[in-house]
A and B are shown apart, each in its own frame.
Chain A
Amino acid sequence: MIAVIDYGAGNLFSVCNALKYLDIPHSVTKDADEICRADAVILPGVGAFPAAMESLRATGLVDTIRENAQKKPLLGICLGMQMLFDRSDENGDCDGLGLIAGEVHRIPSDKVIIPHMGWNELVITQQSPLLEQIETPVYTYFVHSYQAFCDEKNIIAYCEYDGKIPALVTDGKFVFGAQYHPEKSGDKGLQMLRNFERMAK
């Protein structure tokens, strides 16, 4: 069973629609015990970093998520991915979950359109169970104005947008983050969610 953290994130329903479609058992929850019992955790997220962190803190789940991320797969999606990092300067400085070393800043280009919105190609730099059974080229759907800055060892795939944007990241153990929306990235995105479920077993 996958616990999908319920803290009012905008893409919660589309993530759940995708899990339902794939027949992946899941539960939308803000209950610490349920998260502890789950095989894996998904942290969705859309919107602004500080507001989302505040909503997440209000659920009282920050420590539960941090502890569970040491022993079972955790997938952060979009803003949920950004929240895995140490901090962001979106609308002022704000601490994140600190599960992957790095920071989140505005996409530093004045040449390309911000937000980075649309289908971009993943440049895969590391093998990952999340990308199994997915043929290249892999285009996924992005919508964001801020991006992660982290060590290359944490990057599984990036995309080119007048510079490298980390697209799929990991702590090297249980924690994964997708800057794009697998739940809106067609069949290949759905396969990533299937792969994530397989990792949970």
Chain B
Amino acid sequence: MLAKRIVPCLDVRHGKVVKGVNFEGVKDVGDPVACAAEYNRQGADEIVFYDIVASHEGRGAFLDVVRETAKQVFVPLTVGGGISSVEDMRNTLRAGADKISINSSAVKNPQLISDGAEIFGSQCIVVGIDAKRDGRGGYTVYANGGRIDMHVDLLKWVTEIEQRGAGEICLNSIDTDGVRGGFDLEMLKAVCARVRIPVIASGGAGKLSDFATVFQETDATAALAASLFHFGELTIPQVKADCRSKGIAMR
């Protein structure tokens, strides 16, 4: 049986982890390679690196981080932030990423999903979405880290993403992100009912039981969190033990 995945996300700026990570035994809390290695040791099922600056000048340093991590971490590595062309995808995969995550660039240019899926395969194209309730009972898609309302209906967008050949959707709810009150079950259910590709839940994890809940209540196949893991409030083994005790398949 396929296990549900627990996925830590590391935001990287100029080759350093944003805000740092609070791990015992990791001296340089800003070193993304050391942090990824620690998550690997803890049993992370996949690791996400997100280039939050995504400037042209900083790209080299960021890809160096990916390259170094791929030499030491032997679980799938997903890389996002600032990928807006097939060439960017190719460079990121060559650096050692297993999957590429595109978000704003896909909303602005949906053809990028099709091109990426055709050239590199669906399995390595993840489309990230930042979405928010529109106040009329639906959801709308935002770009640029949740700053720009694209006036795109979420459920129409996920259907298009699937049709264009993406392998996965990473759904971040702006409404629950940072609130720590749990994942956005309602939004996840709506999206999971629309598509057959795997959906990763993101945004809102605040306590141990939130992970088991998202797997029990929705068809999400993975759950992503950042700060909750970084500051050692919860460890991946704790989350997995809780899920396992509730009958959820975990690696």
Contact B2 A116 (CB under 8 A): yes
Task: Report the separation of the CA atoms of residues A18 and B251 in the bound assembly, to the nearest whole angstrom.
Answer: 20
Expressed in whole angstroms, the Cα–Cα distance for A14 and B93 within the complex equals 11
Whether A21 lies near B71 (C-beta < 8 A) is yes
Given contacts A115-B167, A119-B251, contact A185 B74 (CB under 8 A): yes
In A71-89, which residues have CB < 8 Å from any B CB? Answer: none
Q: Count A-side interface residues using an 8 Å CB cutoff.
A: 29
Cβ-based interface call for B27 (8 A) = no
A-B contacts, 10 of them at CB < 8 A, read A13-B70, A17-B74, A115-B123, A118-B198, A118-B222, A119-B251, A139-B3, A161-B2, A185-B75, A186-B43
Measured CA separation A10–B120 after assembly (Å): 9
Chain B interface residues (CB < 8 Å from chain A): 1-3, 5, 40, 43, 45, 70-72, 74-76, 93-94, 96, 98, 120-123, 167-168, 196-198, 221-222, 249, 251
Query: Counting CB contacts under 8 A, is A160 at the interface?
Result: yes
Verify A121–B1 contact, CB threshold 8 A. yes
Chain A positions 101 through 133: 1 when the CB is less than 8 Å from some CB of chain B, otherwise 0: 000000000000101111111000000000000
In the complex, chain B residues whose CB is within 8 Å of the CB of A116: 2
Q: Is the interface of B mostly helix, strand, loop or mixed?
A: loop
A119 touches B3 (CB 8 A): yes
Q: How far is the CA of A117 from the CA of B124 in the complex (A)?
A: 10
B1 contacts A183, C-beta separation under 8 Å:
no
| Beta-carbon nearest neighbor of A142 in chain B | B2
Are B167 and A120 within 8 A (Cβ)? no
> A137-148, CB under 8 A of B: which get 1 and which 0?
001010100000
A residues whose Cβ falls under 8 Å from a Cβ of B: 10, 13-14, 17-18, 20-21, 46-47, 113, 115-121, 139, 141, 143, 160-161, 183-187, 189-190
Q: A17-B96, A185-B74, A189-B74 are in contact. List 18 more A-B contacts (CB 8 A).
A: A13-B96, A14-B98, A17-B71, A21-B72, A21-B74, A113-B196, A113-B198, A115-B122, A117-B123, A118-B3, A118-B5, A118-B221, A119-B3, A119-B5, A121-B3, A184-B75, A186-B251, A190-B74
A13 cross-chain contacts in B, Cβ below 8 A: 70, 94, 96
Once the chains bind, are A141 and B198 in contact (CB under 8 Å)? no
CA distance A185 to B120 in the complex (A): 21
Closest Cβ of chain B: how far from A160's Cβ, in Å? Answer: 6
Query: Interface centre among B43, B71, B74, B221, by most A CB within 10 Å?
Result: B74
Report the minimal beta-carbon distance from A34 to chain B, rounded to whole angstroms: 24
**B2 to A119, Cβ gap below 8 A?**
yes
Closest-by-CB residue of A relative to B97 is A14
- Chain B residues near A189: list those with CB within 8 A: 74
Question: Once the chains bind, are A120 and B2 in contact (CB under 8 Å)?
Answer: yes
In the bound complex, do residue A143 and residue B123 qualify as a contact, i.e. CB atoms below 8 Å apart? Answer: yes
Inside 8 A of B122's CB, which chain A residues have their CB?
Answer: 115
